[in-house]
Every structure is written in structure tokens, then in C-alpha cells.
Amino acid sequence: MTLNVAFPFTSDAFGRTMRAGADDHIRDLIEQVLFTAPGERVNRPDFGSGLLGLVFGPNGPQVAAAAQMAAQASLVRWLADVIDVQSVDAESVESQLTVTVRYVVRKSQQAQVATFQRGRL
């Protein structure tokens, strides 16, 4: 049995580490790749996509295109053994960035769609 730790890390009512099901765990992994800034992790300084930095720049179709390219490249690099990325769509409206990822879980061959939003913090 594989223990998938829930993200963000938390404990349950009994003080045990919260677990996540397989699909939730993969969604958590995608979220971590998308919203971790390169340089944020000490032992993996190139991990992440840098999407949050785009939220603070000038808005427009260029921001959405850059977000889409950065997200897809990062997901393929860091999660290629877990998922097969079918498409990534990014939309930047005012200070809100929405990323939709369509992917197939390699182990189960199940198609999934996950949408993530981040705005000014």
C-alpha cells in the first residue's frame, strides 16, 4: 500500500498525517509543480514553473501564452512518469491566473481535468 500524503501537509482529528487518494495525490503533485517558484526548494532549485511570477506582470494574451508554455514544460519535465499531459490552457484575467490541465494518469489510463487558480497574494 502506498501512502500518499495530502497537500498541503496537515493532520487528521487523531493527529495522524492526512492521506490523499491516488487521484487527489496526482492533482496535488500538479499543483506543487505549477505554483512552486524555481529556487524555492533548497535541494531542487530548478523545480517548479514560475507561474506565480507572471501574475504580477502586465496582463494580456502574452502572459497567458507564457503561462501555458511554462506550465506544460514543467509538468512534462517533473511528472512525465506519472501523467501524460494532453493539453494546458492558461487564462489571465486582471490579477487572476487560471490554468486548466488535461492529462491521462499513466498507471490507470484514466483521463482527468484539473483547474487551478491563483491571484495576487
Per CATH, the number for 22-118 is 3.10.450.40
> What pLDDT, in 10s, does the model give residues 80-108?
999 999 999 988 777 677 899 999 999 99
List the chain domain ranges.
22-118
CA-CA-CA-CA torsion sign (38, 121, 112, 62):
negative
Burial class of 83 by CB neighbour count within 10 A (0 to 12, 13 to 18, 19+): buried
pTM of this prediction exceeds 0.85: no
Report pLDDT for 105.
95
H or E, element range at 61: helix 61-79
**Closest CA relative to residue 64, chosen from 88, 40, 90:** 90
Report pLDDT for 121.
36
Q: Which residue has the cell 490507470?
A: 108
In contact, 50 and 63? CB cutoff 8 Å: no
> What pLDDT, in 10s, does the model give residues 7-47?
666 677 777 777 767 888 899 899 989 989 998 988 999 99
Q: Give residue 120's pLDDT band: very low, low, confident or very high (50, 70, 90).
A: very low
